[in-house]
Amino acid sequence: MLNWLKSHITGGGLTAYITHSDCLQHNMGVGHPECPERLVAIKDQLMASQIFDSLQEVEAPPVSEQQLARVHPPHYVEYIEACAPSVGTFRVDPDTAMNPGTLPAAQRAAGAVVKAVDMVMNKEAPNAFCAIRPPGHHAESNKAMGFCFFNNIAVGIAHALSQYRLERVAVVDFDVHHGNGTEEIFHDDPRVMMVSIFQHPFYPYSGDNPMGNNMHHVPMKAGSGSREFREAVEYLWLPQLREFQPQMIFISAGFDAHREDDMGSLGLVEADYEWVTRQLMMVAAECCEGRIVSALEGGYDLSSLARSVAAHVKVLSDG
């Protein structure tokens, strides 16, 4: 009732929370850190924190072939479709596997970011968070890796550029791992600027030598924490973003740089995710009418993931 009332009073003023039950069916095996419980923990925390009532929950549609083709060539999409098993699992690399639920989940994950772009551009929501899996930022145009099959954020960016003729979009990536796929896809596209932090040296062992002048990365040593992160944001990200004047900001929202997440060795806490989200909201308000689309990437300790997403989404929904 609260969602209906607020949306009708504000005319689509609720942050969109875009997800789909298919994203729970992707399972890479017992004990794998990229597990369905991640999305359950996030929703439980949002509900317990009374944030969920301030969101409009939206069902993610499947991505279309045309939308995927802007980022991934048809032969690659056909390869992923051919790899999808009817039973059991198929490994596309040592730590990235498909089960019968993976392809529908990946199609919904990419479709969620497209839907988020449509909603924000059409003023059906001021911003959006996509609670999706599998993640996407390691997927290159022709390669699945690092738990990723389709590059969800890249599919959304390409949709914004093509469908809405945007001339400048920015992607912000604060996952503990470098978003190599996003860089590979957009490194020669002057319409897209990427700013990121990541632990280095660390998987996927890239990013320290940017592939283009539109790529602005801050590799961080193991053990780096809040101070180093906030300095990178304040002295590199924010000036670059303001100079670029993006017409939409995309966030590859990975929360595995949290100090409780043993997937990496950085030391961020919920307050850092709250702070950086607030900084990005201010830039978006200055440059692009507040337009932000955020999509879940990493984050594997269920408790710190859920708390961090809640901090991030609360800032988005508070406006």
Active site residues: 138
Backbone angles phi and psi of 21, in degrees to 5:
-65, -25
Pairing label, strands 96-98, 90-93: antiparallel
Say how far apart CA 224 and CA 73 lie, in whole Å: 38
For 147, the 3-state DSSP assignment is coil
Tokens 């996927």 locate to 204
Pairing label, strands 192-199, 55-59: unpaired
Asked if residues 316 and 273 have their Cβ atoms less than 8 Å apart, the reply is: no
Give 164's DSSP letter: S
Q: 3-state DSSP: the chain helix, strand, coil percent, rounded to 5? A: 45, 20, 40
Residues whose CB falls within 8 Å of the CB of residue 318, separated by 6 or more in sequence, listed in order = 54
Say how far apart CA 40 and CA 252 lie, in whole Å: 20
How far, in whole angstroms, is CA 297 from its chain's centroid?
5
The angle formed by the CA atoms of residues 7, 10 and 13, to the nearest 5 degrees, is 70
Task: Tell which residue, 169, 306, 314, has the closest CA to residue 251.
Answer: 169
Burial of 197 (0-12, 13-18, 19+ CB in 10 A): buried
Number of Cβ within a 10 Å radius of residue 238: 17
- Residues, the chain: 319
Residues whose CB falls within 8 Å of the CB of residue 272, separated by 6 or more in sequence, listed in order = 226, 229, 230
